[in-house]
Structure 1
Amino acid sequence: MKKLEKIDLYNFELENGKQSVYIPLFYQVFGQPIGDAPVVVVNHALTGNSNVSGENGWWNDLIGENKTINTNRFTVIAFNIPGNGFDGIDKNLISNYQDFTIRDVANIFWEGLFFLNIKDVFSLIGGSLGGAIAWEMTVIQPEKIQNLIPIATDWKATDWVIANVLIQDQILNNSKNPIMDARLHAMLLYRTPQSINQRFLRQKTDNFSKYQIENWLQNHGIKLKNRFQLSAYKLMNHLLKTNDITRNRNSFLELSKNIKANIHIVSVDSDYFFIADENRETYFQLKNNNNVYYHEIKSVHGHDAFLIEFEQLVEILEPIFYKKTKQIYVTT
């Protein structure tokens, strides 16, 4: 695994006016040294981390040598959302999770980029929670990003997202086995009934003690429990409902007029969490005053398709990262 680097932030003022005395910002750099190549910033999702490429890299299908995001051509930087626990240091976990918002995380990430003397980002990309942070980062610094690529996400938390965040929060704070139980519920948001039914076909395990779907869900819960801290889960889940780039600002259309980036909205047609209809509406609102493109992954798998349908995602992303040889297109 690439070395985990750290930036120390002191006396950071949160959106709610409170001050966080110390925030360690951990990150990893892949590909070319900083300053030698265009920068791609990758934001991780709820249970993700900065290890996007190489050993155990969660986006190895997209990022690496001669991959779509080619580490022979780009400098790839991935920050860890503070408090996600990837550094393995318990004292860096965040207990006052309700004090933090996506806007705070976006500002923290910009502090990190400025510390690294990065003033221009070729592409800012993220899926789910990471994509929501990317929207916020773009509004904060609308002239510093060339390509915004939010995937399976939205610029706002809908009532549906807020409702499910509440259910997750209740499970995390009241269950006797909170991480596992919350994960079971979440997995049914990230997939679709069609995906589940086609995969398991009501079959039982080899010893006929339970259905395969039950075994699959419990294994997901156990795996997350073994690698994720409860406080991290509470924080990441809470951040989702704080997603709103218009909060205490102008309207969405007014904010969008300041964005200089090409905006590539990537949705999943079967996403039950960040539904495609919302992304299509965003596209139609923006298409007259921005360089905005809409792409749609066709999949039975729902929200998690951005981690499954790599061939489609590569087809969407390659024209963005290889502009000299391919033209940007719109998938509708």
Structure 2
Amino acid sequence: MENKPNHITLQNFTTESGVFYSVLNLSFQVFGPELNTAPIVLVNHALTGNSQVIGKNGWWNDLIGENKTIDITKYTVLAFNVPGNGYDETRIENYLDFNARDIAKSFVEGIKFLEIKKLYAIIGGSVGGGIAWEIAALEPKITKHLIPIATDWKSTDWLIANCFLQEQILNNSSKPIEDARIHAMLCYRTPESFKSKFQRTVNEELAIFNIESWLCHHGEKLQKRFQLSSYKMMNQLLKTIDITRNRGSFEEITSKIDADIHIIGINSDLFFTADENKSTYQEIKKYKNNVSYHEIVSIHGHDAFLIEFKQLDNLLQNIF
């Protein structure tokens, strides 16, 4: 499964903030049958993810693969890299040039370049799910199923506040990636998750609490494989999800989306709360009947979409 990313060069790309890129590199990977020979599922990666959804370093192996929930003997899986995520050597230093919609626009251009007429599904967790919402708002007929997981169609004040703190750390810390990751882990998990995992135990060798050594380990691990510019870029996208910006009302935009919308929340998510997802569902349900809301029940918070595979499989098996 370790196929190298393919590259598309997007010409004359203007971001929503009016910044012109004469060329923008967009890379992608394909798993399963060749493009346009089977139904295509677009998978959008989250903050530290990339197009390697399955294989040795795949981040969604439990969900996608041969005879898995998304079965690559039946579906073609397509995954783009967010330009600037660092996986394909593309660096974007001016991360403030971009917002989540710009990335959605680049993915739409990539889909057109690959001559894909219609997707079977777009699925993504966290910021990847936010970009999925943005794609559906840009191209309301592009997919049969829209599956945003542990995400929302907008960045809430709470999310923007945490992204603001992340940016402060990334710009001001002497160990920016490590320190930002330590803070982020507190958004991705919950007090109950930490309690069940650590029970206030101590690492005798280091004379610190095990929770502390675990957080340091996650910080160091990310520092080794992730670039500062990539972290800043992904954090900026997380902060700028909003399908209504400069566009019109939420109802106007979502009522045009053809897809069956399957919203999946997590009951303990501190980052993209279940309450926000429920109110999104209640709102859309007023004028669109092909929308559903389901919830993963977990003590683990936001990261549950990468942990609770049995539940996710149950929620998705009717679609796939």
Same fold (TM over 0.5): yes
Which AA in structure 2 matches 1:94?
I
Which AA in structure 2 matches 1:58?
W
Which AA in structure 2 matches 1:223?
K
Corresponding residue for 1:300? 299
Moved more, 197-206 or 121-130: 197-206
Corresponding residue for 2:201? 203
Q: How many residue pairs were aligned? A: 318
The 2-side partners of 1:13 and 1:207 are apart by: 54
Task: Give the superposed CA RMSD.
Answer: 0.8
Corresponding residue for 1:49? 50
The 2-side partners of 1:161 and 1:280 are apart by: 17
Match of 1:285 among 283, 286, 290: 283
The 2-side partners of 1:144 and 1:171 are apart by: 38
Q: Deviations over 1:107-163 (max 9, x none)?
A: 000111111100100000000000000000001110121000000000001000010
Corresponding residue for 1:74? 75
* SS of the residue 1:293 aligns to: strand
The 2-side partners of 1:49 and 1:170 are apart by: 24
* SS of the residue 2:221 aligns to: helix
Q: Deviations over 1:260-287 (max 9, x none)?
A: 1000000000000000000000110111
Show the 5 A alignment for 1:92-111: 92-111=90-109
Shift of 1:289: 2.1
Which AA in structure 2 matches 1:28?
Q
Moved more, 68-77 or 199-208: 199-208
Shift of 1:3: 2.2
Corresponding residue for 1:36? 37
1:311 aligns with 2:317: no
* SS of the residue 1:260 aligns to: coil
Moved more, 17-26 or 122-131: 17-26
* SS of the residue 1:12 aligns to: strand
Shift of 1:9: 1.1
The 2-side partners of 1:280 and 1:40 are apart by: 25
Which AA in structure 1 matches 2:102?
D
TM-score relative to the length of structure 2: 0.98
The 1-side partners of 2:231 and 2:186 are apart by: 17
Q: Report % sequence identity.
A: 57
* SS of the residue 2:87 aligns to: coil
The 2-side partners of 1:128 and 1:283 are apart by: 17
Match of 1:220 among 218, 221, 240: 218
Q: Which runs of 4+ in 1 moved over 6 A?
A: none
Corresponding residue for 2:16? 15
Which AA in structure 1 matches 2:300?
H
* SS of the residue 1:153 aligns to: coil
The 2-side partners of 1:292 and 1:121 are apart by: 18
Which AA in structure 2 matches 1:148?
L
Show the 5 A alignment for 1:226-241: 226-241=224-239
The 1-side partners of 2:142 and 2:175 are apart by: 43
Which AA in structure 1 matches 2:306?
L
Shift of 1:37: 0.2
Corresponding residue for 1:114? 112
The 1-side partners of 2:173 and 2:305 are apart by: 30
* SS of the residue 2:242 aligns to: coil
Corresponding residue for 2:185? 187
The 2-side partners of 1:94 and 1:144 are apart by: 28
Corresponding residue for 2:250? 252
Corresponding residue for 1:327? none
1:47–1:208 distance in 2 versus 1, CA, 3 Å = closer
* SS of the residue 1:319 aligns to: coil
* SS of the residue 1:146 aligns to: strand
Which AA in structure 2 matches 1:298?
V
Moved more, 93-102 or 10-19: 10-19
* SS of the residue 2:180 aligns to: helix
Shift of 1:206: 4.2
The 2-side partners of 1:236 and 1:162 are apart by: 13
The 2-side partners of 1:300 and 1:144 are apart by: 35
Which AA in structure 1 matches 2:25?
P
Q: Deviations over 1:1-44 (max 9, x none)?
A: 12211101122011111101221111100001011100000000
Shift of 1:208: 5.3
1:160 aligns with 2:161: no
Corresponding residue for 2:133? 135
TM-score relative to the length of structure 1: 0.95
The 1-side partners of 2:297 and 2:98 are apart by: 34
* SS of the residue 2:123 aligns to: strand
